Structure 1
């Protein structure tokens, strides 16, 4: 990223903390600026821990040449966000804390980072057999829509839903964290670079050429170890009495 006309990310983050949270207990710079993946449109993700905060909040603003997203927590409120992220299998806050570069620390950051590290290492809660069966059904349903679709405009958006479903199914059935948007591909690369490459190639091939074969093969590949496509016999909410 070209930053010749901008304050360096770390310097900007430190100035932001000095000006806006001079008495905070801890602060971290996270996100793309820390990972070396910043682009011309990237912002700075800053996590603040302040015992005087009554609760958690998020705010977006521009300061020191940068768009900044600040996530403010007291010394316990972050735990609810860790738990929520773990339940949805998208560890946004734990990842920011774990990867974050320390801007300020009165001695509280290490313990919070350890919480984040442990959560990330443990992975998401394992899907039950019932959950896998339900996901098989809905992934099959989307796949059938994709196969049968003859409208190019509709197919483009069905493919997007199918991509999310395939990624979620493959990652969750292997005990891995999932993601949304750009984090779909990032999560797949962390899991298996070869699978990620095949995933991207399949959908790129469809979007470029309209050929569905690679996407269909990919969907069947992730479904097969768990019984393949599922339609007949599936039910939800049926009274079994």
Structure 2
């Protein structure tokens, strides 16, 4: 794998890639870790392409000018569907790339307009969880926490803990009406929201990995759940039909 220090400058490479691979596009932005100063030898170039003549959106990966490239290609309408989909699932992948990306091509000011749309989505934030959604997530979080507490088989415990981390991070962020992320994006979202809480979670997880001690992780999850009623099992109801309820009366 080529050392990142020996690669062409990321922005210059992105310009050449757009010229060579997407010559008919009207707009393009470079996004990702290379702009945040966090690039590693495995980092790629994330480039969002806008081509009004394109019949449908697509995603493609390839190598060019010494870089692995991931291109997210849209026409003048398809990106709106992904903007809205990302907003609904509270994971603003495409809006974030566009809003925080560097413009590579901008015919007729198309990127200025789309950047305004992306920034507005990020500023407005995700939809607030309802009481019903919070209770549903409490139930699922309780279920995985109980599995973690009860398991005595190390391989299973590792997988359960990974799921528990993901659920508790989502719960923390969404109950505070914050965006969430995937994989390293979830860590970054939590760190932006509360750096101290993030460090505490990491210490709890490390404690289990190193010493097989569950207490700190269990206490952490319980403390997160406590303001919303704590663990939730007794009384949970999902999908029961009114007709079935009436028969029991």
* Interval of TM-score (by shorter of Structure 1 and Structure 2): over 0.9
- 1:236, distance to aligned residue in structure 2 (A): 1.0
Please list the CA deviations of residues 81-101 of structure 1 after superposition, one character each: whole Å capped at 9, or x if unmatched: 001111111110001001110
Query: How many Å separate the matches in 2 of 1:164 and 1:111?
Result: 34
Unaligned runs of 5+ in 1: none
Q: How does 1:21-100 map to 2 (within 5 A)?
A: 21-100=22-101
Query: How many Å separate the matches in 2 of 1:147 and 1:23?
Result: 57
More helix per residue: 1 or 2?
2
1:12 aligned onto 2:13: yes
Aligned twin of 1:212: 214
Q: TM-score, normalised by structure 2?
A: 0.94
Query: How many Å separate the matches in 2 of 1:183 and 1:204?
Result: 19
Query: How many Å separate the matches in 2 of 1:239 and 1:20?
Result: 54
Cα RMSD of the aligned pairs, angstroms, is 1.2
Q: How does 1:160-179 map to 2 (within 5 A)?
A: 160-179=162-181
- 1:173, distance to aligned residue in structure 2 (A): 0.4
Query: How many Å separate the matches in 1 of 2:225 and 2:182?
Result: 21
1:225 aligned onto 2:227: yes
Query: How many Å separate the matches in 1 of 2:209 and 2:146?
Result: 18
Aligned twin of 1:104: 105
- 1:38, distance to aligned residue in structure 2 (A): 0.7
| Alpha carbons of structure 1 residues 4 and 139: separation in structure 2 relative to 1, 3 Å | closer
Query: How many Å separate the matches in 2 of 1:13 and 1:109?
Result: 16
- What secondary structure is seen at the aligned counterpart in 2 of 1:223? helix
- What secondary structure is seen at the aligned counterpart in 2 of 1:168? helix
Cα contact 2:4–2:40 (8 A) shared by 1 = no
- 1:148, distance to aligned residue in structure 2 (A): 0.9
Query: How many Å separate the matches in 2 of 1:121 and 1:137?
Result: 30
- 1:5, distance to aligned residue in structure 2 (A): 2.1
Please list the CA deviations of residues 61-92 of structure 1 after superposition, one character each: whole Å capped at 9, or x if unmatched: 00000110011111111000001111111110
Larger CA deviation: 140-149 vs 231-240: 231-240
Query: How many Å separate the matches in 2 of 1:110 and 1:208?
Result: 49
Larger CA deviation: 204-213 vs 55-64: 204-213
Query: How many Å separate the matches in 2 of 1:3 and 1:150?
Result: 43
- 1:2, distance to aligned residue in structure 2 (A): 4.7
Aligned residue pairs: how many? 241
Unaligned runs of 5+ in 2: none
Cα contact 2:30–2:103 (8 A) shared by 1 = yes
Aligned twin of 1:155: 157
